[in-house]
């Protein structure tokens, strides 16, 4: 990189080789300077600003892909899998190759409006969180001037406080129609443990303590691989009722007869091979089939977890115990989700306080 004098015009010019946004070497020239000093100053200014200008030319897709790559080794595998799935299937298809510096608050709001009817409030918040993380990444590493996602509020559906769930009677009506021992045991464990679907599918025989009637939850299945659970509180040992333990014993005997053997590290809820858990979609499908056969109220598989939490709360289990049992990272999560189920109304609180006052004399 240097400056030269053009013998034909008697003017100065600079010529430098730099990388473009695709990593290709290109030559940049600028002519017409009356003095060498002016050409040198212009060249220095170009080099100082070129990196920022080039970095701001990155498309949303390029920044998003670099953000996903940056996440490796910095987040848990489950978090990365879910994050990347959302980015690849929702964010990139919308913003595509738009230069990230050209995305304005209005574009973000238009995006929210386009997906509003398709997703729950929780999912919308998750989408916004990942979109904002990508823009923060561009601000911190690629000199983007600001994160426009922060200035756009997220539209929200009217909150539904009521969680869909089954009573024990409804669950029994459902489970009586499940003939396959694998699915019968799976749905029993889900209902009576309150664990997440991925956590249960990741269970191996070594995770079951038949004598103490406990299961160790430390992994989860995301349909591609087994990973550790998302947070430390999610790694837990929980007790399950005796009748569920007996059902697990029955399933183990069935698997031994089917596959001729089972080892401690084999998966419990497997269909074709005990070396791999069944697919998540398979669970959903079999659950729908069971609901149709039993003619019970329609809920989602995840609502078995809500059913379990509701069962505990209706039997006066303390909020802290419920939170720890469910593997919530914060008791606030449990309170926000299930706090309204606790029976103490304002009138009941008044009665409790009045009694406390009268008992003090």
Whether 54 shows a pLDDT value over 60: the answer reads no
Where along the chain do its domains lie? 2-55, 60-151, 168-341
Strand-pair partners of 3? 14
Whole-angstrom distance, CA of residue 101 vs CA of residue 146? 9
Residue 157, SS3 per DSSP: coil
Task: Summarize the chain as % helix, strand, coil (round to 5).
Answer: 55, 10, 30
What is the tens place of the pLDDT at every residue in 279-320?
A: 999 999 999 999 999 999 999 999 999 999 988 888 888 888
Whole-angstrom distance, CA of residue 195 vs CA of residue 203? 11
Q: Which helix (H) or strand (E) holds 333?
A: helix 331-338
What is the tens place of the pLDDT at every residue in 118-148?
A: 988 889 999 999 999 999 999 888 878 899 9
Our measurement of the distance from residue 133's CA atom to the centroid of its chain's CA atoms, rounded to an integer in Å, reads 14
CATH label, 168-341, candidates 1.10.443.10, 1.10.530.10, 2.60.40.420, 3.90.550.10? 1.10.443.10
Average pLDDT, stretch 20-48?
A: 81
| Residue 21 contacts residue 57 (beta carbons within 8 Å) | yes
- Output the six-digit token pair for 118: 């398709």
Fold designation for 60-151: DNA polymerase; domain 1 (1.10.150)
User: CATH topology of 60-151 equal to that of 168-341?
Assistant: no
| Residue 301 contacts residue 179 (beta carbons within 8 Å) | no
Whole-angstrom distance, CA of residue 75 vs CA of residue 82? 11
The sheet carrying 208-209 orders its strands as: 208-209, 214-217, 236-239
């Amino acid at each position: 990189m240097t400056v030269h004098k053009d013998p034909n015009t008697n003017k100065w010019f600079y010529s430098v080789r730099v990388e473009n946004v695709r990593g290709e070497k290109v030559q940049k020239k600028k002519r017409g300077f009356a003095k060498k000093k002016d050409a040198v100053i212009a060249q220095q200014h170009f080099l100082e600003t070129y990196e920022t200008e080039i970095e701001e030319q990155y498309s949303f897709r390029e920044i998003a892909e670099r953000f996903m790559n940056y996440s490796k080794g910095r987040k848990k595998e489950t978090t990365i899998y879910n994050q990347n799935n959302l980015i690849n299937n929702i964010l990139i298809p919308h913003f595509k190759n738009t230069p990230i510096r050209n995305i304005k608050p209005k574009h973000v709001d238009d995006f929210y409006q386009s997906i509003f009817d398709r997703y729950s409030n929780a999912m919308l918040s998750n989408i916004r969180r990942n979109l904002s993380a990508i823009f923060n990444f561009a601000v911190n590493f690629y000199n983007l001037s600001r994160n426009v996602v922060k200035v756009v509020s997220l539209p929200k559906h009217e909150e539904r406080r009521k969680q869909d769930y089954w009573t024990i009677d409804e669950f029994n009506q459902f489970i009586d129609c499940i003939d396959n021992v694998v699915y019968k045991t799976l749905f029993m464990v889900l209902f009576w443990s309150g664990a997440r679907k991925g956590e249960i599918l990741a269970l191996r025989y070594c995770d079951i303590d038949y004598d103490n009637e406990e299961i160790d939850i430390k992994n989860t299945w995301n349909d591609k691989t087994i990973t550790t659970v998302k947070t430390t509180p999610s790694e837990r040992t929980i007790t399950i009722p005796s009748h569920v333990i007996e059902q697990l014993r029955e399933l183990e005997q069935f698997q031994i007869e089917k596959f001729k053997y089972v080892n401690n590290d084999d998966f419990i809820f497997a269909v074709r091979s005990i070396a791999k858990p069944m697919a998540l979609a398979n669970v959903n499908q079999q659950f729908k089939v069971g609901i149709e056969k039993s003619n019970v109220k329609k809920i989602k598989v995840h609502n078995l977890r809500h059913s379990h939490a509701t069962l505990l709360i209706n039997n006066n289990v303390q909020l802290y115990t419920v939170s720890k049992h469910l593997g919530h990272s914060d008791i606030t999560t449990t309170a926000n989700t299930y706090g309204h189920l606790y029976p103490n109304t304002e009138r009941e609180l008044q009665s409790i306080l009045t009694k406390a006052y009268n008992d003090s004399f």
